[in-house]
Amino acid sequence: MWSGKKSQPPIRSLVGEGTRLSGEIRFRDGLRIDGEVHGDVIADGEARSILVISEKARVLGKVKADHVIINGEVTGPVESNELLELQPKARIVGDVRYEVLEMHPGALIEGELRPLKAGERPALKLAASNDA
């Protein structure tokens, strides 16, 4: 997962606030979205990836990356291969697939939650927990 041994990939790309993109976005390393995207946002599968969808951001399309942090709105399916963090203002309308899920109070999902490995018990992390 995202232990101290592995550093997070750098965020090299930004969709700024007030920007609206239409079409698929494919990225490597890290991407932060503060604007609006109408289309899929997918990490290139070769390297570890991080995707941040900020409080002011909106994505209408599929979202897929290793580490996904959402505090804005996503309308479409979400898939996180390692860690999915849903911040208090996260709003998802669509099915969610994850390896590990961290969900803060206030986050909302309208869709089905399913672990990536269907036969195993999903790993859930309580956001309010003091355990490290």
Q: DSSP letter at 106? A: T
Residue 5 has pLDDT above 50, yes or no: no
Question: Is a pLDDT exceeding 80 seen at residue 116?
Answer: yes
Choose between 129 and 47: higher pLDDT. Answer: 47
Q: Name the domain count of the chain.
A: 1
Its domain, for residue 110, covers 11-117
- Find out whether 48 and 9 touch, Cβ atoms under 8 Å: yes
Answer yes or no: is 108 within a domain. yes
Q: With contact defined as beta carbons under 8 Å apart, do 127 and 102 qualify?
A: yes
Is residue 5 domain-resident? no
1 lies in a domain? Answer: no
**CA dihedral sign of residues 113, 117, 118, 120:** negative
pLDDT tens track for 28-48 = 999 999 999 999 999 987 789
> Which pTM value belongs to this model?
0.85
Asked, for residue 94, whether it belongs to a domain, the answer is yes
Is pLDDT above 60 for 4?
no
